Amino acid sequence: MIRVRKLLFSRSLSFALLLTSCFAASTAAGDGGAKAYNPSSSAAPPDTETASAGAWANLTNRAGSIRATSNHMLSGAIETARSDKSAQRIIFKSIPELSKKDTDDDQSCDRLEQATRQKPLEFDDKRFPTVDDLTDWIMDFTQGKGADGKSLYKQCPGKCSPQYTWWIYPEKTELLVKARVICGLPRDRDSNKYQLSIELAPACPVAQSQ
């Protein structure tokens, strides 16, 4: 009986410590305490790609465009996450190559970047039935279209360039998505390139009522 009690106590303590780590990690990432855990020391290195933000390439879904590359990366990660027995979430990032030229907006963008690194812009509880629907929303969102895109561009104005992180939770019938955005320095519109990265990370355990 004593051994059983010690085992139960040990498991309860481990679970409590994990929840504490989850909360601390998510709060530090600006998630407002959402249940998200990203142990960077144990997570596999992210897959990375360079993609073009060119209008025609994305309109025609050309290979190498942000649309085509994002869809390919997301499809593979979501399939892997759903086939894994452990709970998984997907961390997908899109970071622009920054301009080397000075602009009139540099100072205001620098202030916005410092502020949004402390408290990222939040777009939560987005749900999509398919990867294609998610990709369509990402493209609209990042181009200032739709309610979310317009809200983003209002908060990140001028030549300031958003840096995106999406947390994607593959549920049985849909994808739950949370977006965090840092409003940073102007991007390089001559190269028109973004660095995309994607990785799987364990999700926090969810306590179930008995």
Per residue of the chain (210 residues), give pLDDT as tens: 433 333 333 444 333 444 344 434 443 444 433 333 333 334 566 799 999 999 999 999 999 999 999 999 999 999 999 887 676 899 999 999 999 888 888 999 999 999 999 999 999 999 999 999 999 999 999 999 999 999 999 999 999 999 999 999 999 899 999 999 999 999 999 999 999 999 998 866 543 333
| DSSP bridge partners of 196 | 49, 94
For the chain, the domains span: 1-36, 38-202
CA-based angle 195:199:202, to the nearest 5? 150
Read off the DSSP letter of residue 65: B
List, in order, residues 6 or more apart from 41 with CB less than 8 Å away. none
Q: What is the pLDDT of residue 104?
A: 86
Secondary structure element (H or E) that encloses residue 59, with its range: helix 55-59
CA 60 from chain centre, in angstroms, equals 25
How far, in Å, CA of 39 to CA of 192, rounded?
A: 32
Q: What is the pLDDT of residue 204?
A: 60
CA 154 from chain centre, in angstroms, equals 20
Instruction: Read off the pTM.
Output: 0.76
Q: What is the pLDDT of residue 198?
A: 97
Tell me phi and psi for residue 9, to 5 degrees: -65, -40
In sequence order, what DSSP letters do the residues of 129-192 get, joined into one string? SSHHHHHHHHHHHHTT-HHHHHHHHHHS-TT-EEEEEEEEEE-SSSEEEEEEEEEESPB-TTT-
Which amino acid belongs to residue 84? D
